Amino acid sequence: MESLLDRINSPDDLKQLSISQVENLCVEIRNFLIESISRSGGHLASNLGTVEIIVALHYVFNSPRDRLLWDVGHQTYTHKILTGRKKEISGVRSFGGISGFPKRSESEHDHYDVGHAGTSISQALGEALDRDMRVKTGETPYSVVAIIGDASIASGMAFEAMNHAGDVKSPMLVILNDNEMSISQNVGALSYSLTGLISTRFYKKSWHRFLKFARWIPIIGPATERLFVRFFANMKSIITDTQFFTELGFTYYGPVDGHDVKKLIRLLKNFKDLEKPSLLHVVTKKGKGFSHAEKDPTGYHGVKPFHPEEGIIEDSNGSWPLSEFVGNALCAMADKDERIIAITPAMREGSGLTLFAEKYPFQFFDTGIAEQHAATLSGALAKNGKIPFFCIYSTFLQRSYDQVIHDISLMSLPVRIVIDRAGVVGGDGETHQGLYDIGFLYPIPNIKILSAADEKDLLEMLYAMRDTRDAVVAVRFPRISAKSESFYKWEQKNRPFPEKNHSSVWKAREVKKGKDMALFTEGPMLRNGMEAAGILEKKGYSVSIINLKSIKPFDAKTIRAAIRGKKGIFTLENHSHPGGVGTYFLSEFFTDIQGKVFHSFGYPSLPIEHGSMEELENKYGLDASGIARKILQLLK
């Protein structure tokens, strides 16, 4: 028997269903998502929580003419299903498959490529202003809707956009999806305020009961009712705090049940002809309809393939992502020094800081999705003698660039920037690739940059960073895993930490000696360089491999010694080639490599799609065979 979902290939097909059929469709979509994502992996909990919102939006509005604009975009799988990409969901985030985020090249229903938080209201206002100008020339108006989460709306950019939208008063609808979660649990005053707004359902019920009772009181009942109406009109704004949005120029509606698709459809029909900016507050449950995800929405935010009945089974091979090494190292430091501070913009779990947050709650600060604030906060703490480690993904560090310059580096405040997910990152694709941090950090004054090839490099670098007082210092490391036992072995070998000399992190290390050519590797490219050297040696070439470790400053003495007498000089990096290690290496050692064959291996200046590190290295000629093949061509 054909299911309702089998009949849906476009929003027009959806509009042919009755309201009761739409309810059944939501159940089918949720089951389809659980089944598909359990096989392919992807963003699960966030997508289970937005099924009814997205179905209602497409049922009422006419996409793509009406603009449906998504914030972050990891919650849009239902949108993709309804807009003709149902069959492709099984390959979401895999190499060659569809993106896990909205992507303009995939569909006319995706108006923007989205992957970072806080952008949707600005884009919605731009669409609304453009529409208003078109309407003046006689074009037919259309609706503009931004869908944003309760964590994203707390970002500074969202505030700026709402403040502007309330000023120009261009009609648009903002749907606030309030599930009390981003990836980690939400933090901040606005989060508490929104949680309070949910309680207005109790307030309204109690209020109506009280008024009914007041009217019943003989003689003084009507006067009592009028008095309390005026009193509670003032009290309501204190209790519910909806004035926060009205002061920004938005008409506030809600909160409403985000899983009642019938009610959502009725409400959204009333928002088709707005006259001013409006905000609909919708309360949802992240992981809705899948018990494992409801109990652990953070753990089921982004998942690898799993069995739906058993749920995620913890990896028993004893491996940690490198971020866990960071968190455990910071705990070991904080055991002996209360000046150690960990700061993250809404990435407690992702940055491996869960244990640190539990053990040292007064030395841990999650700023929410506020990268700029987190950077400046780190600078202020460093200025006052604390030892702050600013833990952030490479792609999100971009958002705090001005603060890193203005509020940290120009004053040479010794903030330790821990750059997670540097280089290519897998399924998240273009918007999350950490391919630009060397390029934008290198020109900044008073900054040192390290790059870790593995967990041993990373641990030593973290302790060297702790002891650096004369500059900002950053360490970048890739999204790879290593055996957790490496931490405990390293910890025992290197105690006591305070007296340990970590000066070797600033020295390049010649991992392998050779006489014909030198390969200078950055970060995890050490592995590929070693494998490429093996291929080249079978062709009769003797190859030196040098792990750079310190990118700024370069260890000029070791590098010049390794260059001397070689025919070919090559740099390998897990970064964009323009503006990366190769660019700065060539600039500093230009006279030393004149007359020699030189080439810099790195990613091209293109949007690099999603795929595993191995798949992307293979495509762009950065795997061992690709490197060796290119070097042989250059030498000929």
Q: Residue 371 catalytic? A: yes
Taking residue 171's Cβ as centre, other Cβ atoms within 10 Å add up to 18
Per-residue confidence at 155, pLDDT binned at 50, 70, 90?
confident
Residue 624: name the closest of 561, 572, 568, 547 by CA.
Answer: 572
Q: What is the pLDDT of residue 500?
A: 62
Calpha distance 569→561 (Å, rounded): 12
Handedness of CA 501, 502, 507, 509 (dihedral sign): positive
Residue 218 has pLDDT above 70, yes or no: no
Per-residue confidence at 242, pLDDT binned at 50, 70, 90?
low
Residue 182 has pLDDT above 50, yes or no: no
Q: Residue 619 catalytic? A: no
Is-same-fold flag (5-183+249-303; 319-506)? yes
Calpha distance 238→247 (Å, rounded): 14
Average pLDDT over residues 580-596: 95
DSSP sequence for 271-309:
TTT-SS-EEEEEE--TTTT-HHHHH-TTTTSEE-S-BTT
Calpha distance 605→493 (Å, rounded): 42
Pairing relation of β-strands 543-547 and 509-512?
Answer: antiparallel
In which element (H, E) is residue 517 found? strand 517-521
Q: What is the pLDDT of residue 195?
A: 45
Residues of the chain with pLDDT > 90: what percent?
Answer: 65
Q: What is the pLDDT of residue 355?
A: 95
Q: What is the pLDDT of residue 25?
A: 94
* Between 306 and 371, the higher pLDDT residue: 371
Average pLDDT over residues 205-215: 55
Residue 238 has pLDDT above 50, yes or no: no
Q: What CATH topology corresponds to 509-635?
A: Rossmann fold (3.40.50)
Selecting among 285, 288, 399, 552, the annotated active-site residue is: 399
Q: What is the pLDDT of residue 404?
A: 97
Domain 5-183+249-303, CATH class in plain words: alpha beta
Q: What is the pLDDT of residue 316?
A: 58
Q: What is the pLDDT of residue 222?
A: 59
Extended beta strands in 305-376, E state? 319-321, 340-344, 364-366
Selecting among 349, 371, 460, 522, the annotated active-site residue is: 371
Q: What is the pLDDT of residue 291?
A: 77
Considering the four listed CATH numbers 3.20.20.60, 3.40.50.300, 3.30.559.10, 3.40.50.970, the one that applies to the domain covering 319-506 is 3.40.50.970
Per-residue confidence at 257, pLDDT binned at 50, 70, 90?
very high
pLDDT digits (tens, 9 = 90+) for 286-303: 888 887 888 888 878 777
Calpha distance 149→283 (Å, rounded): 10
Q: What is the pLDDT of residue 203?
A: 43
DSSP 181: B
Calpha distance 50→7 (Å, rounded): 21
3-state helix, strand, coil in the chain (%, to 5): 45, 15, 35
Average pLDDT, rounded, for the chain: 87
Residue 117 has pLDDT above 50, yes or no: yes
Q: What is the pLDDT of residue 212?
A: 61
Per-residue confidence at 230, pLDDT binned at 50, 70, 90?
low
Q: What is the pLDDT of residue 227?
A: 56
Residue 344 has pLDDT above 70, yes or no: yes
The burial of 368, by beta-carbon neighbours within 10 Å (0-12 exposed, 13-18 middle, 19 or more buried), is given as buried
- Cα torsion through 254, 259, 263, 265, rounded to 10: 100
- Residue 338: φ, ψ to 5°: -75, -5
Average pLDDT over residues 564-580: 95
Instruction: Check: CB of residue 344 under 8 Å from CB of residue 367.
Output: yes
Domain boundaries, the chain: 5-183+249-303, 319-506, 509-635
Selecting among 131, 286, 348, 549, the annotated active-site residue is: 286
Q: Residue 286 catalytic? A: yes
Q: What is the pLDDT of residue 557?
A: 96
Q: What is the pLDDT of residue 193?
A: 47
Average pLDDT over residues 569-597: 95
Sheet holding 447-451, edge to edge: 364-366, 340-344, 387-393, 416-420, 472-476, 447-451, 550-552
Per-residue confidence at 496, pLDDT binned at 50, 70, 90?
low
What token pair was written down for 372?
């700029």
